[in-house]
């Protein structure tokens, strides 16, 4: 079953757009995003934020409407300092923690501070054209908690969050995974899964001549949080349907997708869960 087929099943032929907010969106141009199948199928609209003006221009040209990309620093709305590094993706509103990153292979080499710039941040809740957000994706090098503090309304309406989290202070004074977890649980979400791990070796060890491989020390990951499934009764039905599509097509979590569909069935006297289970167990697994 594809995301398009599930959307057709749930919305009886209609194709409502899933709204995705991507903060740190310049990475769309550099790496495949896990939501790109939704975009390619015409099921999702992306509103992206990336302070790289030229990067946003390229993304707007590439994707066009209904997608939109804005060159803003997203945070808690207060003035901040942007710490520009020698590799664009590691720039941050927090200063690289040089004593820590120098301990590991291939970290200081891509996180070397170049310049400092005063900037103004914008709260996500103050952005006028977001619409009704369903899925929030964030990769802002330690500044995630500031984004969440300026996004109470967005978090209340969304049903799934994917955020980068760090387990050690790669940047001075940055919030860590425990801080992000506490914030999102307080905003009505449950932790669901991690997607991959960032690791490095303590110098001077190197694994298989690859300076970007680690052994045991985990440094960062992407964490996925879902609206608290014990309180699905307060989530609107159309939001649960969109969540089911995201869980199936983006997160590849059929068990939680099935659970979500069963909650819709209990509310609407439908049979989505049984039809979904039949579809995913009857079809042979085809690697994506």
What digits encode the pLDDT tens for the residues 15-45? 899 999 999 876 665 556 889 999 999 999 9
Its pTM stands at 0.95
| Residue 258, pLDDT score | 98
Crossing angle of helices 254-268 and 237-246, rounded to 10° = 160
Quick check: helix, strand or coil at residue 120?
strand
Residue 77 has pLDDT above 70, yes or no: yes
Burial class (CB in 10 A: 0-12, 13-18, 19+), 110: middle
**Model confidence at 117, in pLDDT bands (50, 70, 90)?**
very high
Mean pLDDT across 55-72 = 92
Per-residue tokens: 65:
């409407």
**Model confidence at 285, in pLDDT bands (50, 70, 90)?**
low
**Longest Cα separation, the chain:** 62
Residue 182 has pLDDT above 60, yes or no: yes
Q: Indicate the average pLDDT of the chain.
A: 94
Q: What order of strands is seen across the sheet that includes strand 135-138?
A: 68-70, 44-49, 18-23, 135-138, 160-166, 218-227, 189-199
Residue with the two structure tokens 């085809």: 286
């Amino acid at each position: 079953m594809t995301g398009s087929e599930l959307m057709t099943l749930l919305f009886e032929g209609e194709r409502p757009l899933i709204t995705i907010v991507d903060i740190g969106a310049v990475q769309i141009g550099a790496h495949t995003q896990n939501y790109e199948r939704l975009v390619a199928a015409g099921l999702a609209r992306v509103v992206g934020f990336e302070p790289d003006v030229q990067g946003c221009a390229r993304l707007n040209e590439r994707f066009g409407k209904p997608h939109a990309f804005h060159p803003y620093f997203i945070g808690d709305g207060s003035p901040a300092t942007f710490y520009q590094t020698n590799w664009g993706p590691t720039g941050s509103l927090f200063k690289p923690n040089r004593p820590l990153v120098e301990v590991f292979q291939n970290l200081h080499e891509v996180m070397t501070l170049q310049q400092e710039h005063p900037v103004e941040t914008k709260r996500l809740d103050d952005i006028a054209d977001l619409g009704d957000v369903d899925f929030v994706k964030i990769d802002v090098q330690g500044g995630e908690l500031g984004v969440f503090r300026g996004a109470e309304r967005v978090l209340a309406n969304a049903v799934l969050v994917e955020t980068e989290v760090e387990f050690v202070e790669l940047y001075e004074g940055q919030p860590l995974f425990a801080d992000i977890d506490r914030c999102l649980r307080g905003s009505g979400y449950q932790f669901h899964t991690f997607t991959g791990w960032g690791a490095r070796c303590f110098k001077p060890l190197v694994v298989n001549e690859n300076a970007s491989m680690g052994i045991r020390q985990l440094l960062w990951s992407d964490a996925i949080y879902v609206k608290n499934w014990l309180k699905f009764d307060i989530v609107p039905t159309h939001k649960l349907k969109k969540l089911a599509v995201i869980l199936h097509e983006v997160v590849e979590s059929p068990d939680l997708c099935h659970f979500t569909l069963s909650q819709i069935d209990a509310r609407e006297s439908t049979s989505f869960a049984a039809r979904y289970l039949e579809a995913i167990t009857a079809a042979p697994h085809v690697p994506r």
